[in-house]
Structure 1
Amino acid sequence: MKKVVFQSRPAGYTYLLSKCDIAGMPHWHTSIVSPGAHKLNVHNGIVEEIYPIKYWPGEEIGNQLEFALKYDGTSLGILAQIFSKVVIEDLTEYIKSKPTGKYTRRIWFFYEFITGEILPIEDLATGNYVDALDPQEYYTIKNGYKSQRHRIVNNLLGTRKFCPTIRKTEELARHIESDLRKRYEDVVALYSPELIRRAFSYLYSKETKSSFEIERVTPNATRIEKFISSLTLAENEDFCEKERLIELQNMIVDSRFRESDYRQNQNYVGQTLTYQKEIIHYISPKPEDLKDLMEGLIDCHQLMKTGGISPVIHAAAIAYGFVYLHPFEDGNGRIHRFLIHNILSVQGLTPKGLIFPISAVMLKKPKEYDASLEAFSKPLLKLIDYQMDELGQMTVKSDSAHWYRFMDMTAQALALYKFLIQTVEEELAEELSFLKSYDSAKKSVQSIVDLPDRLIDLFVHLCLQNNGKLSAKKRSTYFEFLTDDELTAMEQAVKNSF
């Protein structure tokens, strides 16, 4: 009799997606069962894990789901797709066959959490509670709601309307343990309170202008002042509620584009090449899905606000979630960056009266910022079925809400940490150092010639523009009264200070 040789086969999510004939977002972990030893291949952050034959779970949906949760982790977005295709009777039979199993109960809980449908299974009467997500592997809500029906602790970050997941990677864990607030305070402690006060007055303005500049918007003075005013309120008031978000949108956009509710049209981010030819970079949720999604985002914010979540994890989930939902026609990017400040302040990471000028770092590192946005937007494009009419109006034809509902935001959380570290150690440190040098230069110049403050500022400014020297033209225009010796000494004072 001819021996049957076991061939390499996908398992877990990859198997299930293929069996159900559905496309899914790229997942960080894929599994293969194959003859031979256990192996790991890692490429561009995607782990391909090869398991020996003894790991093969069989063909049944329930066994493959259990394998996926055990080895591939929890992807609510992929589970939503799979649950929409499974035969309910098969899933119910599998759960009833071992109702007290840890992974079985999770599958049961996730099905009812995601779909809102109740399976024909009796509530569990006894048994220990297990967490919906393993807190060793995911950032989770502390003291989550106990679902007695499944004997599951619901420690998810959100609700079925909007529920991101963020994995506890080694790199993220290192950043959280580094105590960002202490690093911030260590930098600030090197300077006088007066200098810090001046620096942050400037940084509020710089943060505002950088946030507009990222989107290539040139605001007038009134809009700049309104945005600065909002930033100063961010440390005390929670803006993540519908009325406040609309109020904020009205403050920062051109008066002609103010909105009184979430958008009613399909919008997208694109780049026009020629007439009726456009490159699409991102497609927002359908307007009919937006109300539920935004309610979910706000509920998710409230859960994390009291759930013992790291402020940066919290800010990443809500701020990036907001910009992906794109609830307004205009102003979404600026509100997204504003929400980072708002949440970091409300959660106590940012010291009172201070600010992280994070938009300035994002502006300096556009590739890294774009990459953080594209971690979700780029693969999403391949899954959205849409059409454009001759006027550039888009219609999304496919059901897409689940992709926005259940996002893996690990990449965005890591990116935000990196931006904040660069903000503290580069942008903030450089600004404070510059001001200290500037004060030193002014004091030294004034000790040579007792000029009015206005002229000292002008002199230092013009020297810095010209590699430490005052040009002949600027001298004749503004400083003709200086002797050659005074000019030489003043230029040297500026050079010494910087």
Structure 2
Amino acid sequence: MTLDTNQNRLAGYAILISRFGLSALPNWHTSSVSPTGTLRSTIQDGQVESVYPQSYWPGDGTGDHLEFALKYDGVNLGILSALFDVVPADEITAWISSKPTGKYARKIWFLYEFLTGRELPLPDLTKGNYTPLLEPDHYYTAAPGRRVQRQRVIDNLLGGKDFCPIIRRTEKLAAMEGIDLRKKCEEVVTSYPPELLRRALSYLYNKETKSSFEIEHIKPSASRTEKFIGLLEMAEHKDFCEKPLLIDVQNRIVDPRFRDTDYRANQNYVGQTISYQKQLVHFVCPKPDDLPELMAGLLAAHQVMKDGEVPAIIHAAAISYGFVFMHPFEDGNGRIHRFLIHNILFLRGAIPKGLMFPVSAAMLKNPALYDHSLEAFSSPLMRLVEYDLDDLGQMTVPGETRRLYRYVDMTAQAEALYDFVKLTIENELVEELDFLANYDRTKQAIQEIVDMPDRLIDLFIQLCLQNNGRLSARKRESHFEFLTDDELAAMENAVREGYARD
């Protein structure tokens, strides 16, 4: 449902986008002012539209609507960056000069210089309290932040000029902070015998590896599987968010013919062939010329969040999804994106050392949720990016697009990762450990009926589980013709009882 704004006037970011013809990703909150009525809001697909009473009208000036935007629409660096590129600097300067010690004027002053790299002709402030750039009650911030004497603000952003995600402190994410993820993992694993857990680890590494490849519809060879497992085993031991290490990771997990020695030098995209010489493009990646700055910004933001006590899931979401949105390599970007989730959660102590955390399995089982986490960025982006494809599928992207990837609201991605982590702890870990525990009980019961070699017990259990707890006549004839009818019935019953679900 869209609000009828025929009698309403746009306000905040909405009027600035309209007035200056800005090309920017949409903000999560849109405002207008009505000549009658009271404050009312509608919410659809995470987008909020608010209509304010006439008393909220801020005035007609650019600065007036900038202040309104920061108050009611929130901080959107992409829109601000686009605006500051076209609005006259003297107009911003004059408005700030009219209220130099105002909280919002100081924030706008800082953001103008931060985003443009240009200094306004204003003297440094010499008195007044410091104000946080992002309100910690509403945003995830880097603590304690950097004190900027010029505007007397505390820069607590999650990154710098080259890459700076914004993640809002929604009710869902705030609830996440009350959960000790490491403790929940420990509670799960300590409820099983240590020997069973040691055996489960190899299953979990295999499961995570196969899931990460399967998300991309790839069936890896045995050697590629082993290489990825080896990489996952290294995730808890060092910080991989450095350019040479990321290149090394890429080289380990892709076909040797597609190993990169640097970030990609061509324009790539995510799409699919739907007919001869016809591509359906789902996502246009950043231009190769923009990658060095964007990736340097991503890695710098990682350090800011690592040092700034940002919650582990927020940190992992911003960097891992930021990486896959950059798509810096020819191949392997999705698998590295999921590997970085492991790496950062381990680094931040959210996962106990030595535990494999099969988050890709949760993503694979919930494809709609995973797709939504990607499309929350890609869908609005595709409405803004112009591109051309030649007959060979080579893409060119005209114009400036760097800003679109540099300043992204990643709240949706953080919420999705929280869901995946929760599903991993409550489902994937428990299911794998339960499966092994059930196997041990079933194996013992079968051995008491017929003392068969382990290889045949494994095969019997596997074939029964594939056929609703019963061995087919064909499989019996080809593998288990030596069993009597009574033995077979008892063994099938042992499998059904061993894997019975409440």
TM-score (norm 2): 0.96
Percent identity over the alignment?
59
Equivalent residues of 2:181, 2:351 under 8 A apart = no
The CA deviation string for residues 369-409 of structure 1, in whole angstroms up to 9 with x for no partner, is: 11100100110011112222222211111211111110000
Equivalent residues of 1:25, 1:379 under 8 A apart = yes
Distance 1:21 1:406 in 2: 18
Distance 2:396 2:402 in 1: 14
Q: How does 1:89-104 map to 2 (within 5 A)?
A: 89-104=90-105
Equivalent residues of 1:8, 1:34 under 8 A apart = yes
SS, match of residue 270 in structure 1: strand
Q: Which residue of structure 1 aligns with residue 452 of structure 2?
A: 451
Q: What's the offset of the Cα at 1:42?
A: 1.4
Distance 1:126 1:223 in 2: 61
Distance 2:238 2:198 in 1: 21
Q: Which residue of structure 1 aligns with residue 287 of structure 2?
A: 286
Q: Which residue of structure 1 aligns with residue 337 of structure 2?
A: 336
Q: Which residue of structure 2 aligns with residue 323 of structure 1?
A: 324
Distance 1:49 1:179 in 2: 35
Question: Which 10-residue stretch deviates more, 127-136 or 17-26?
Answer: 17-26
**Change over 3 Å in CA distance of 1:331–1:122 after alignment to 2:** same
SS, match of residue 84 in structure 1: helix
SS, match of residue 57 in structure 1: coil
**Change over 3 Å in CA distance of 1:54–1:191 after alignment to 2:** same
Q: Which residue of structure 2 aligns with residue 3 of structure 1?
A: none
Q: Which residue of structure 2 aligns with residue 479 of structure 1?
A: 480
Distance 1:355 1:59 in 2: 57
Distance 2:467 2:331 in 1: 40
The CA deviation string for residues 258-292 of structure 1, in whole angstroms up to 9 with x for no partner, is: 00000011111112222332211000111111000
- Residue identity in the other structure for 1:400: T
Q: Which residue of structure 2 aligns with residue 28 of structure 1?
A: 28
Q: What's the offset of the Cα at 1:347?
A: 0.7
- Residue identity in the other structure for 1:22: L
Q: How does 1:329-408 map to 2 (within 5 A)?
A: 329-408=330-409
Q: Is structure 2 residue 314 aligned with structure 1 residue 313?
A: yes
Q: Which residue of structure 2 aligns with residue 19 of structure 1?
A: 19
**Change over 3 Å in CA distance of 1:276–1:466 after alignment to 2:** closer
Distance 1:206 1:191 in 2: 19
Q: Is structure 2 residue 405 aligned with structure 1 residue 410?
A: no
The CA deviation string for residues 201-253 of structure 1, in whole angstroms up to 9 with x for no partner, is: 11111111111111111211111111100100001111111000000000000
Distance 1:122 1:38 in 2: 39
Equivalent residues of 1:386, 1:398 under 8 A apart = no
- Residue identity in the other structure for 1:312: I
Distance 1:112 1:198 in 2: 56
- Residue identity in the other structure for 2:72: Y
Q: Which residue of structure 2 aligns with residue 142 of structure 1?
A: 143
Q: What's the offset of the Cα at 1:433?
A: 1.1
Distance 1:175 1:256 in 2: 42
Q: Which residue of structure 2 aligns with residue 154 of structure 1?
A: 155
Q: Is structure 2 residue 219 aligned with structure 1 residue 222?
A: no
Q: Which residue of structure 2 aligns with residue 48 of structure 1?
A: 49
Q: How does 1:143-222 map to 2 (within 5 A)?
A: 143-222=144-223
Question: Which 10-residue stretch deviates more, 156-165 or 452-461?
Answer: 452-461
Distance 1:113 1:29 in 2: 23
Distance 1:111 1:28 in 2: 21
Distance 2:495 2:332 in 1: 41
SS, match of residue 265 in structure 1: coil
The CA deviation string for residues 349-379 of structure 1, in whole angstroms up to 9 with x for no partner, is: 0111112211111111111111100100110
Which residues of structure 2 form unaligned runs of 5+?
Answer: 1-5
Question: Which 10-residue stretch deviates more, 366-375 or 176-185?
Answer: 176-185
The CA deviation string for residues 425-448 of structure 1, in whole angstroms up to 9 with x for no partner, is: 111111111111111000111112
Q: Which residue of structure 2 aligns with residue 434 of structure 1?
A: 435
Equivalent residues of 1:39, 1:51 under 8 A apart = yes
Aligned residues: 493
The CA deviation string for residues 30-80 of structure 1, in whole angstroms up to 9 with x for no partner, is: 111112211111122111111111111111111110000011000001111
Question: Which 10-residue stretch deviates more, 423-432 or 270-279?
Answer: 270-279
SS, match of residue 32 in structure 1: strand
Equivalent residues of 1:159, 1:300 under 8 A apart = yes
Distance 2:208 2:250 in 1: 17
Structure 1 segments, 4+ long, off by >4 Å, are none
Equivalent residues of 2:128, 2:152 under 8 A apart = yes
SS, match of residue 236 in structure 1: coil
Distance 2:121 2:255 in 1: 54
Q: Which residue of structure 2 aligns with residue 119 of structure 1?
A: 120
Distance 1:459 1:276 in 2: 49
Distance 1:333 1:205 in 2: 17
Q: What's the offset of the Cα at 1:7?
A: 4.5
Q: Which residue of structure 1 aligns with residue 244 of structure 2?
A: 243
Distance 2:250 2:30 in 1: 41
Q: Which residue of structure 1 aligns with residue 267 of structure 2?
A: 266
Question: Which 10-residue stretch deviates more, 173-182 or 196-205?
Answer: 173-182
Distance 1:492 1:71 in 2: 64
What's the Cα RMSD here? 1.2
Equivalent residues of 1:162, 1:405 under 8 A apart = yes
Distance 2:396 2:493 in 1: 65
Distance 1:225 1:295 in 2: 30
Equivalent residues of 2:26, 2:380 under 8 A apart = yes
- Residue identity in the other structure for 2:433: L
Question: Which 10-residue stretch deviates more, 323-332 or 216-225?
Answer: 216-225
Distance 1:384 1:456 in 2: 57
Q: What's the offset of the Cα at 1:488?
A: 2.1
SS, match of residue 206 in structure 2: helix
The CA deviation string for residues 145-192 of structure 1, in whole angstroms up to 9 with x for no partner, is: 111111011100001010000000011111221222222222222211
- Residue identity in the other structure for 1:348: G
Equivalent residues of 2:215, 2:364 under 8 A apart = yes
Distance 2:423 2:458 in 1: 29
Which residues of structure 1 form unaligned runs of 5+?
Answer: 1-5
Question: Which 10-residue stretch deviates more, 386-395 or 208-217?
Answer: 386-395
TM-score (norm 1): 0.97
Equivalent residues of 1:207, 1:360 under 8 A apart = yes
SS, match of residue 86 in structure 2: coil
Distance 2:480 2:22 in 1: 74
SS, match of residue 49 in structure 1: strand
Question: Which 10-residue stretch deviates more, 17-26 or 298-307?
Answer: 17-26
